[in-house]
Structure 1
């Protein structure tokens, strides 16, 4: 018997891998009549290298993320997902995606795109997807192809 999911989290970052994961998360939410939680994490570590920390920069990044999430929200509702929420979180993406957000929102399935990093980047900074699949407490779906997408 297949598991029925109730709350599906999809992490998006604007990459083509994340867009694919988003489409598959919509399909899964519709099949399961589940709520869809669209998550974008702003990695605050990226601001540590800026010599003059500029709150205006953080605000611009946040506004850009909010605009993208509103577009994702609109797409999800227009395709028939009944309950859709979106969130912007600040901090370490690995911990937020794998543990903090799912626990706070009772997520029972995390949907992610396969890593967009090249081999060197994975060695240096690690793959969020790899970390989430190893450590998350709930099921994780890693999307690699656009097969089986319902239109």
Structure 2
């Protein structure tokens, strides 16, 4: 059996979804195991007037951008609160389309592994296609996509039998 890989610079992308929570927990376990540096990132979508109009007339794109900015800040703060004090961590917020921005951060941070959730949340993020597929196809490092099984989601919400 080949020796297990060791990672040194871990990137985990968070978006507030339960899948991203699983990715964060997995990244923490790997960081602890490998004594690795952890970077937690979120991507703030650019809300343009045309994107805002997709949700109906009268939507204020400036207000939507403010909402997106505040939501991203809340998401990154919540993720950082989960990190133990003795774990080296940095946070990154990028603006744009999540897939390309995650790939750009992989390169900029010289990360050797990226973890992200299988499905994001949010009405804006869903317009841009599969983030995990983009990262899988364009990253030059190991990629792990966290996906909660359906029964785990039901058990966690109290809907399970």
Pick the TM interval, shorter chain.
0.7 to 0.9
Q: SS at the partner of 1:44?
A: coil
Aligned residues: 140
Match of 1:73 in 2: 80
CA deviation string 1:117-140 (max 9, x = no partner): 8xxxx9x85311112112210000
Cα drift, residue 6 of structure 1: 0.9
Match of 2:35 in 1: 33
In structure 2, C-alpha distance between the alignment counterparts of 1:13 and 1:68, rounded to whole Å:
6
Residues 13, 6 of structure 1: alpha-carbon distance in 2 compared, 3 angstrom cutoff: same
CA deviation string 1:16-61 (max 9, x = no partner): 1111111111111111111111111112156542257644442342
Following TM superposition, the consecutive aligned residue runs of length 4 or more in structure 1 with deviations greater than 4 angstroms are 51-54
The structure whose Rg is larger is 2
Matches within 5 A, 1:47-126: 48-50=50-52, 54-78=61-85, 80=86, 82-98=87-103, 100-115=104-119, 125-126=128-129
Whether the 8 Å CA contact 2:12–2:24 is kept in 1: the answer is yes
In structure 1, C-alpha distance between the alignment counterparts of 2:49 and 2:25, rounded to whole Å:
30
Q: SS at the partner of 1:14?
A: coil
Match of 1:22 in 2: 24
Question: Unpaired runs of 5+ in structure 1?
Answer: none
Whether the 8 Å CA contact 2:14–2:79 is kept in 1: the answer is no
Whether the 8 Å CA contact 1:77–1:84 is kept in 2: the answer is no
What is the TM-score of this pair, normalised by structure 1? 0.78
Tell me whether 1:139 sits opposite 2:109 in the alignment.
no
Question: Unpaired runs of 5+ in structure 2?
Answer: 54-58, 153-161
In structure 1, C-alpha distance between the alignment counterparts of 2:51 and 2:100, rounded to whole Å:
21
In structure 2, C-alpha distance between the alignment counterparts of 1:47 and 1:74, rounded to whole Å:
34
What is the TM-score of this pair, normalised by structure 2? 0.74
Whether the 8 Å CA contact 2:99–2:135 is kept in 1: the answer is yes
